[in-house]
Amino acid sequence: MHAGLCLLRLSAPQFWAMTPRELFAATGGLIKRTTSIERAGLETLMLAFPDG
């Protein structure tokens, strides 16, 4: 709701009329992400922030 009403500045009727897919697209969900973490970077993070 925050993304739709505050960030996108939709009116309440506009927000509630949107489908989840439309809201996803409006918030940038359809933009292709090309960056990802490499294995070495993941291992570094796992050592720095171990689970448990």
Please check the confidence at residue 32 and state whether its pLDDT lies above 90: no
Give the integer Cα–Cα distance in Å for 32 and 25. Answer: 11
pTM of the model: 0.54
Please check the confidence at residue 45 and state whether its pLDDT lies above 80: yes
Give the integer Cα–Cα distance in Å for 44 and 35. Answer: 17
The predicted-structure confidence for 3-29, as pLDDT tens digits, reads as follows 999 989 999 999 999 999 999 999 988
CB atoms within 10 A of CB 15: 16
pLDDT tier for residue 52 given thresholds of 50, 70 and 90: confident
For the chain, the structural domain boundaries read 2-48
CA 38 to chain centre: 20
Q: What distances in angstroms separate CA 5 from CA 1, 12, 20, 27, 38, one per listed residue?
A: 6, 7, 14, 11, 36
